[in-house]
Structure 1
Amino acid sequence: MNPLLKKVLANTSWLASEKVITMAANLLVALLLARSLNPEGYGSLSYLLAIIALVGPLTSLGLNAIITRELVNQPERNDAIMATASGFRLLGAGVGTALCLILAVTGWGLSGAVDQWAMAMLALANLLTAFHVIEFWFQAHVAAKAVARMRVSVIVLFSIAKIIAALSGAGLLLICGLFALEMACIGIGFMLIYRRAQGAIQWNELDASYGLQLLKQGFWLVLSGIAAVIYLKVDQVMLAQMVNREAVGVYAVAARLSEVWYFFATAIAISLFPALLKLKQTNPDRYQQRLQQICDVLFVAALVLAIGITLIATPLVRILFGQDYLPAAAILTIHIWGSVFIYMRALVSKWLIAEHLLAFSLVSHGLGALINIAANWYLIPLYGGIGAAWATILSYLVASYIAFWFASSTRPIAKVMTRSLLLPFTLGYRYWR
């Protein structure tokens, strides 16, 4: 095993370990909060967090993987890259925070003073998410250990606090305050581990012209990020407006049990991205071979997950969340199949960056967002949460697969995904011949 592969595997192990612990902690917290707050209260919490998620792309500015690429390709410009990316992301986070504070002050879309104060706290904490950009410095150096240890420490600490709050019957405002503090502490944690590994961010190295170049490169990713968040979270916002908060609570339980597994695909794609970039430069044939193999692994993992969750959905929801949330089982058996496309999409997103085809990230996510909104608008009044789940599957299918057949430049990755989708029928021919 060569040293690079050893480093990649170690990095993946740290990422996977972090995500497993995080998944378990978040699931336990969600379980207890759902039982404590009841469907309506849990629906309110999920609704507020969904709104905060909608402004997330304004913080990232599409710079995430671009920063990894820049640090890998230009390590000598480390200080300028980190200062510029951090500064521009702070500006983006400020815009997102301002929008949420406007909602908090005006009360638009909120149901009272508790919602308004909760939104204000979450909005202010959102500012510090700008420093999540530091994670991509560690990714570029294939050194996830420090990030994993920091984030696990913060998440476990606040998970304990949330569990105590749930068991003591705390209200929505206190629980939202804990979520806000957690967001802030993770941002501070990133600054501390970067200072230890590399030193403080050199703000005097901030290069506005270079930042504008990065922003121009990431422009399509900003818009695609907004579109992606819309088709991931707009269902909960629309359920709240078109049905009620209780429907959001039931749907959020199903979505939590479905989306909690997405991190596996993200961890694999993040860990392998720097190695794929190097392989693309040195061995294009092996690069194509690795793309297909990774896509196959992601597809098989998602297929096994979807089948397993479908078979145990009803007892799983009943045991974990109780009888009040039993309608979430039917939603879950539909929603979980979106993982087939989401898992492969994790690789496709990196491929678009490597191939400098960022505009297609917007095209695909934009189509997904439009279809999701239209399908939700039609299906939610007819079928409630189940309709929202079908709308989600349809949007995932279009955004993560069908859209890539439209242009000749993206058709190669569509063919890679098609070969993976056909793997159950071609496995013997492709791997055992």
Structure 2
Amino acid sequence: MGLQRLGRDTLLYGLSTLLVRGLQIFLIPVYSRALGSGEYGVVETVAIAGALVNLTIALEISQGMARYIADAPDESARRALASTAVAFAALAYAVFALAVTAFADGLAQWLLAGQAPPQTLVLAACAIAVNGVFVIVQDLLRWQFRPGSYVAAAMAYALGSALVGIWLVTVQDLGVAGVFWGQLAGALLGAGVSLSRAGGLLSRVFDVHRLRTMLRYSLPLVLSGAAVFGNLFIDRIVVRELLGLEALGVYGVTARFASVVSILAVGLQAALSPLVFRHWREPGTAVTLGRICRWYLVAMVALVGGIALLSGPIMGTLTGPAFHGGSAVLPLLTLGAMFSTLYVFAPGLFLGERTGRVAFLNVAGALVNLAAALLLTHWFGLLGAALAATIAPAFVFAGYLVLGRPWFTVPYRTPRIAFSLALVVALVLMGMAWPATPTLWDPVALASKGALWCLCLGLAVALGTDAADRHQVSQIMRALARQRSL
């Protein structure tokens, strides 16, 4: 498994994620000023429902496709797998959109609490459906090792959804409906670009035998996907039920800022997964994965620690006054977002095809999240929900580490990764405890926080990695410098 290729692909996939997530974060100041916290609560409610649909409605066929397309013996087999998976997903999402249209009145009253009409829910369902097809077609580009095309599709989606959404919400004053029209436009553009670039893997083939093979692998992951949904969104559901739609709006905006952490993680995962699935039997792959994990945690010291220390200025500058209270929970939500990304470094259960155990583990994590959210949100409000959203993914990551070892063992150098994790937690706690200042960007506070951040990052590099890790990175940097000079 080549580190140079991994580094290059990670940068490209990270760029695509940066475009999508970065523009979503850019939209927060726009939408949070144009929409009230209750209306933004509608956006969050639909996002929660959309996440559940994406994890379940197509029976996780994309996971089955991903597992077998890497091991396919020839191009014909890969084409049959890809075409069958995309056709099945498109049919499943079409059925979903039609079902929402048929029952729109009752669903709108239940989900949107009178904040938007049924027609808006139908529009949102169409956006969710088209986006689901776009994601699986775009994923084909990863398995063709075409990160440049993947970035182009992501750019089309991001720009389409942002430009159309901003125009309709701020100029045409369409409110919440404008957000969903933007998402639909972006998904259509992204799907068009993906189809034009991945056409070599698609044909008029629907192989029932291969569909059964993919579904045998992916069906246990439907339960797992529902549990992953629980791990990601139970805190928001509990906030909505216990604290109301306006509190959900504040919490949801804050969670969007915390999702910055996943920009690095998604880029790395998108590049890493195809390489691990293809090369995991080769000597040295486990060692390389352990090395990447240690450097990833060093990066988390910088990223999570920086967001935690600057949570007040971030929320105060980039959101409307109704959302400023989110600064108290942003550090914890960022820590939870980090824990939710770490499973990529413990792929044993996936490589051993133990998807039933994956489902069991994620269900257990969802139950932990539910119990913690109900209890802690009742006691501590939004802070309790954020704490539950941190405890649950940490529990699931520990499960992946322990249960996956029989099939794939990674030499993590436990004391080193534990040290980096401790630094991340320490910076989060300091960010939460730091006294408020009269001005958002107080220079004395910024200088103190900057010095603390630099100290922790230096300690993470020195003690969270070893000499071989640092030597490997220096070699890669020299190789990249030579390539640029040619």
* Cα 1:119/1:354, change in 2 over 3 Å: same
Query: What TM-score, normalized by structure 1, do the two folds share?
Result: 0.88
Aligned residue type for 1:243 = L
**Other-structure match for 1:231:** 231
1:327 to partner: Cα distance: 0.9
Q: How do 1:197-212 residues align onto structure 2 when only pairs under 5 Å count?
A: 198=200, 201-203=202-204, 205-212=205-212
**Other-structure match for 1:120:** 122
1:267-324 deviation per Cα after TM superposition (whole angstroms, max 9, x unaligned): 11221223223432332xx012012112212222223222111111011100111332
* Cα 1:428/1:132, change in 2 over 3 Å: closer
**Other-structure match for 2:133:** 130
Q: Does 1:392 align with 2:389?
A: yes
Q: How do 1:18-417 residues align onto structure 2 when only pairs under 5 Å count?
A: 18-74=16-72, 75-76=74-75, 77-94=77-94, 96-97=96-97, 100-101=100-101, 104-106=104-106, 107-112=109-114, 114-128=116-130, 129-168=132-171, 169-195=173-199, 198=200, 201-203=202-204, 205-283=205-283, 286-348=284-346, 350-402=347-399, 404-405=401-402, 409=406, 412=409, 416=412
Unaligned 5+ segments in structure 2 are: 423-459, 469-486
Deviates more, 1:129-138 or 1:286-295: 129-138
Q: Is the 8 A contact 1:295 1:417 kept in 2?
A: no
CA distance in 2, matches of 1:301, 1:104: 45
Query: What TM-score, normalized by structure 2, do the two folds share?
Result: 0.79
CA distance in 1, matches of 2:180, 2:273: 35
Q: Once superposed, which parts of structure 1, at least 4 consecutive aligned residues long, lie more than 6 Å away?
A: none
CA RMSD of the aligned region, Å? Answer: 2.8
Q: Is the 8 A contact 2:169 2:176 kept in 1?
A: no
1:338-373 deviation per Cα after TM superposition (whole angstroms, max 9, x unaligned): 13312312333x443223232232122111211112
Aligned residue type for 1:46 = E
1:108 to partner: Cα distance: 2.4
1:36-67 deviation per Cα after TM superposition (whole angstroms, max 9, x unaligned): 11222212211122111111112453333442
CA distance in 2, matches of 1:312, 1:281: 43
Structure ID, larger Rg: 2
1:105-126 deviation per Cα after TM superposition (whole angstroms, max 9, x unaligned): 3132332372422221121233
1:329 to partner: Cα distance: 0.4
Unaligned 5+ segments in structure 1 are: none
Q: How many residues align?
A: 423
